[in-house]
């Protein structure tokens, strides 16, 4: 008996010890898992980018900080070096032969170069453009009025070139007035360029690629017998839409002009707001076949140099036959094309582009498109409207709070409704619960199907209203929504409370100023509807966590998407609330601009100096 009792006690002791060891191990495992989850959560919220995966991070460097301290002397040196000849600046000069005299023109064998023989050049033009089958291009043979006369021909595109300019500024001077000057020695092309042609832009090219590019953009090319170069004369003049009010970004107080389809008109609209020599525009060609003009505009001395270099690198690295719209260009440029959030700001307002350039951002113009891309952008930029800055601070702050409320209503309301109705009925007051139950008594569909039917119907009405031309489109949107909503309620297909929820959700979506952000909210809304119907509030919270993770890990040209909130950076306070204009003393810290100060501490010169503590001029 004693041995059995001893064995029993020993077995119990071993079991207790084993249970304690297991419990300790379980506690240790749970603590390790909790610490691992906490570490991952902290990393997500603090946002530490993956250096190995990301190719571009916008940050300050020691060299840039040194340049900030030595900014004024550097600008003087740059201006001095700019005024020097190209040979003194150390630039490599292209080895172009000077224009030949008519009697000295050698034979040209390269088919991509202009030949001194007029017939060879005409044959090459016929091959390039497929003449005479191609009816868009016109060749005009004429004789240059010299002694002796010289044969030539002009090439231009009908529809893109202004015929009056071709006749008055190209053909007429060369055919009638070119023999007014007795001294005609020297190079014939130089003589025609400097003393005969009276247009504002005349270039000499010996490459058919450059000549064809100019003709395709409305210029007139002049080929002369015996000259191994051609004159490309500016004669653009096509029909285009004039400056009109912005159709998708209307405001009540502020400028009422928007961008058009002409690139140079759009850049001029921005220069009307920023009349500074530091405002720089660089031009590029995009598309192997289309050869569209792309302009990159930034404020020299303010914008981060690495940001400007990265924008130009991405544009120049695009390998495509054609990029016809800024929406296509946006997809080529953004960091994560499959992320649902817009990573590039697209606007048709010149004043908004000018404001963002002043902040240190970079604008991208595409010829033939009324939308200008601005990078980098944040989620708060997408929620702001330019009218916020034209109103008083309290008015602008109220509008921003309304938009912030509409932002969450636009994608959470239907999902929260399903979560409450299906899983959390105790949260609804008894009277309201009875009213909802009574309204849904004759509805044959579950709540989830009911919500999906209403949301899909509203999306159909919205799309039909946009695609139907003219006034009929808005009529279909209004009448369709009223008639279908009323008919669906009377037919007991949906409940009246759901019609109100869908209508409020749609109105909240229309309150978002960014069209791209509206689209993203419309897609996310269906995801939250599914999560609310399956998991209730647990699904809603899970969806918010995933969405926050996606937003925190997203970057736009090296700038975190939730800046300046996450990661927290210095700001003037003009993020959620609209601060006074005389408090815009600093540019956004996350842009790492070369010049941080936007204005002095005392911007209102009439205010007494002691009105602000510790202020400096």
Distances (CA, A) of 350 to 70, 268, 269, 357: 33, 9, 6, 11
Instruction: Measure the CA–CA gap between 502 and 485, rounded to whole angstroms.
Output: 10
**Predicted pLDDT at 442:** 81
Query: For residue 297, what are its two tokens?
Result: 């505009």
Instruction: Measure the CA–CA gap between 203 and 221, rounded to whole angstroms.
Output: 9
| CB distance 241 to 120 below 8 Å | no
- Percent pLDDT > 90 in the chain is 29
**Predicted pLDDT at 361:** 93
Distances (CA, A) of 294 to 159, 299, 366: 22, 17, 5
Lowest-pLDDT range of 102-111, 161-170, 551-560: 102-111
- Percent pLDDT > 70 in the chain is 81
| CB distance 454 to 505 below 8 Å | no
Instruction: Measure the CA–CA gap between 593 and 304, rounded to whole angstroms.
Output: 5
CA angle 469/472/477 to nearest 5° reads: 105
Long-range contacts of 207-216 (CB under 8 A, 24+ apart): 207/112, 207/113, 207/114, 208/111, 208/112, 208/113, 208/114, 208/124, 208/128, 209/112, 211/114, 212/128, 213/285, 213/291, 215/137, 215/155, 215/156, 215/157, 216/157, 216/160, 216/291
How does residue 62 score in pLDDT terms, banded at 50, 70 and 90?
low
How does residue 531 score in pLDDT terms, banded at 50, 70 and 90?
very high
Asked whether residue 76 carries a pLDDT value surpassing 60, the answer given is no
Q: What are phi and psi of 311, to 5 degrees?
A: -60, -45
How does residue 45 score in pLDDT terms, banded at 50, 70 and 90?
low
Query: For residue 25, what are its two tokens?
Result: 């191990």
Instruction: Measure the CA–CA gap between 174 and 152, rounded to whole angstroms.
Output: 10
Instruction: Measure the CA–CA gap between 132 and 114, rounded to whole angstroms.
Output: 20
| CB distance 533 to 420 below 8 Å | no
- 443-481 in b/e burial notation, b at 16+ Cβ within 10 A? beeebbebbbbbbebbeebbeebeeeeeeeeeebbeebb
Of 617, 596, 599, the C-alpha closest to 71 is 596
Bridge-partner residues for 568, per DSSP? none
Asked whether residue 105 carries a pLDDT value surpassing 70, the answer given is no
Mean pLDDT of 104-115: 66
Q: Which carries the bigger pLDDT value, residue 5 or residue 426?
A: 426
Instruction: Measure the CA–CA gap between 270 and 290, rounded to whole angstroms.
Output: 26
How does residue 496 score in pLDDT terms, banded at 50, 70 and 90?
confident
Query: Of the segments 19-23, 124-128, 246-250, which one has the largest average pLDDT value?
Result: 124-128
| CB distance 124 to 117 below 8 Å | no
Lowest-pLDDT range of 31-40, 204-213, 289-298: 31-40
Dihedral sign (CA 601, 604, 607, 608): positive
Instruction: Measure the CA–CA gap between 180 and 182, rounded to whole angstroms.
Output: 6
Asked whether residue 80 carries a pLDDT value surpassing 60, the answer given is no
Mean pLDDT of 223-235: 91
Mean pLDDT of 34-43: 71
Of 154, 132, 141, 121, the C-alpha closest to 235 is 154
Lowest-pLDDT range of 28-37, 145-154, 449-458: 28-37
| Terminal CA-CA length for the chain | 98
**Predicted pLDDT at 363:** 95
Q: What is the DSSP letter of 543?
A: H
Query: For residue 363, what are its two tokens?
Result: 């604008």
**In 3-state terms, what secondary structure has residue 422?**
helix
**Predicted pLDDT at 1:** 61
| CB distance 584 to 572 below 8 Å | yes
- The label of the residue with tokens 């009875």 reads 434
Report the predicted TM-score, pTM, of the whole model to 2 decimal places: 0.75
Asked whether residue 46 carries a pLDDT value surpassing 60, the answer given is no
CA angle 170/164/143 to nearest 5° reads: 35
Which region holds residue 365: left if phi is over 0, alpha if psi is between -120 and 50, else beta?
beta
Mean pLDDT of 602-616: 63
Residue 487, classified by CB atoms within 10 Å of its CB into exposed (0-12), middle (13-18) or buried (19+), is: exposed
**Predicted pLDDT at 77:** 54
Of 34, 16, 71, 78, the C-alpha closest to 595 is 71
Could you please report the per-residue DSSP string of 304-369? -HHHHHHHHHHHHT---S---SHHHHHHHHSS-TTSSS--SEEE--HHHHHHHHHHT-EEEEETT-
How does residue 59 score in pLDDT terms, banded at 50, 70 and 90?
low
Asked whether residue 580 carries a pLDDT value surpassing 60, the answer given is yes
Asked whether residue 616 carries a pLDDT value surpassing 80, the answer given is no
pLDDT digits over 410-426, tens only? Answer: 999 999 999 998 888 88
Mean pLDDT of 92-104: 40
Of 604, 559, 617, 79, the C-alpha closest to 360 is 559
**Predicted pLDDT at 93:** 40
- The label of the residue with tokens 């190719």 reads 55
Instruction: Measure the CA–CA gap between 481 and 476, rounded to whole angstroms.
Output: 8
Instruction: Measure the CA–CA gap between 471 and 197, rounded to whole angstroms.
Output: 50
Could you please report the per-residue DSSP string of 38-59? HHHHHHHHHT---TTT-S----
Instruction: Measure the CA–CA gap between 481 and 460, rounded to whole angstroms.
Output: 10
Asked whether residue 470 carries a pLDDT value surpassing 70, the answer given is no
Instruction: Measure the CA–CA gap between 281 and 265, rounded to whole angstroms.
Output: 13
Q: Which carries the bigger pLDDT value, residue 118 or residue 566?
A: 118
* The pairing of beta strand 230-233 with beta strand 202-205: antiparallel
Mean pLDDT of 321-330: 90
Asked whether residue 81 carries a pLDDT value surpassing 60, the answer given is no
| Cα 265 to the center of its chain, rounded Å | 18
Asked whether residue 254 carries a pLDDT value surpassing 90, the answer given is no
Asked whether residue 91 carries a pLDDT value surpassing 70, the answer given is no
Bridge-partner residues for 299, per DSSP? 279
**Predicted pLDDT at 10:** 62
**Predicted pLDDT at 5:** 66
Asked whether residue 37 carries a pLDDT value surpassing 80, the answer given is no
């Amino acid at each position: 008996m004693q041995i059995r009792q001893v064995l029993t006690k020993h077995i119990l002791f071993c079991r207790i010890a084993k249970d304690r060891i297991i419990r300790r191990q379980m506690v240790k495992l749970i603590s390790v898992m909790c610490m691992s989850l906490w570490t991952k959560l902290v990393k997500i919220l603090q946002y530490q980018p993956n250096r190995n995966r990301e190719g571009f991070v916008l940050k300050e460097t020691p060299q840039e900080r040194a340049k900030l301290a030595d900014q004024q002397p550097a600008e003087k040196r740059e201006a001095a070096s700019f005024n020097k000849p190209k040979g003194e600046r150390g630039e490599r000069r292209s080895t172009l032969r000077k224009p030949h005299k008519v009697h000295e023109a050698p034979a040209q064998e390269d088919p991509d170069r202009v030949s001194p023989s007029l017939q060879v050049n005409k044959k090459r033009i016929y091959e390039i453009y497929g003449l005479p089958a191609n009816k868009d291009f016109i060749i005009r043979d004429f004789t240059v009025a010299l002694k002796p006369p010289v044969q030539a021909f002009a090439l231009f595109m009908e529809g893109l070139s202004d015929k009056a300019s071709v006749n008055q500024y190209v053909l007429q001077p060369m055919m009638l007035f070119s023999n007014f000057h007795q001294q005609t020695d020297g190079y014939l092309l130089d003589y025609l360029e400097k003393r005969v042609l009276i247009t504002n832009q005349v270039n000499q090219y010996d490459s058919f690629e450059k000549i064809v590019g100019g003709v395709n953009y409305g210029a007139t090319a002049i080929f002369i017998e015996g000259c191994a170069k051609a004159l490309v004369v500016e004669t653009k003049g096509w029909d285009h839409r004039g400056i009109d009010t912005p159709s998708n970004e209307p405001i009540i107080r502020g400028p009422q002009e928007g961008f058009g389809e002409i690139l140079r008109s759009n850049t001029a609209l921005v220069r009307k707001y920023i009349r500074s020599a530091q405002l720089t525009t660089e031009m590029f060609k995009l598309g192997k076949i289309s050869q569209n003009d792309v302009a990159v505009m930034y404020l020299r001395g303010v914008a981060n140099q690495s940001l400007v270099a990265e924008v130009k690198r991405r544009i120049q690295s695009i390998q495509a036959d054609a990029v016809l719209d800024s929406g296509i260009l946006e997809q080529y440029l953004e960091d994560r094309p499959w992320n649902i959030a817009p990573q590039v700001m697209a606007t048709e307002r010149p004043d908004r582009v000018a404001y963002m350039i002043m902040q240190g951002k970079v604008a991208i113009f595409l010829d033939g498109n009324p939308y200008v891309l601005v990078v980098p952008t944040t989620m708060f930029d997408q929620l702001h409207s330019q009218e916020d800055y034209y109103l008083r601070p309290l008015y602008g702050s109220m509008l921003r709070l309304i938009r912030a409320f509409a932002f969450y209503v636009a994608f959470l309301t239907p999902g929260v409704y399903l979560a409450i109705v299906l899983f959390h009925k105790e949260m609804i007051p008894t009277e309201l619960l009875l009213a909802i139950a009574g309204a849904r008594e004759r509805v044959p569909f579950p709540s989830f199907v009911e919500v999906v039917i209403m949301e899909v119907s509203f999306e159909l009405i919205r799309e039909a209203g946009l695609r139907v031309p003219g006034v009929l489109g808005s009529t279909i949107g209004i009448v369709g929504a009223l008639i279908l909503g009323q008919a669906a309620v009377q037919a007991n297909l949906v409940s009246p409370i759901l019609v109100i929820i869908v209508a409020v959700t749609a109105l909240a979506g229309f309150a978002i100023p960014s069209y791209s952000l509206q689209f993203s909210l419309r897609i996310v809304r269906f995801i939250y509807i599914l999560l609310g119907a399956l998991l209730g509030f647990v699904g809603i919270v899970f969806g918010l966590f995933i969405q926050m993770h996606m937003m925190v890990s997203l970057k736009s040209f090296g700038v975190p998407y939730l800046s300046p909130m996450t990661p927290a950076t210095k700001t003037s306070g003009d993020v959620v609330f609209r601060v006074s204009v005389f408090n815009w003393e600093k540019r956004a810290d996350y842009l790492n601009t070369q010049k941080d100060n936007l204005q002095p501490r005392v911007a209102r010169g009439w205010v007494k100096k002691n009105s602000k503590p510790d202020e400096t001029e």
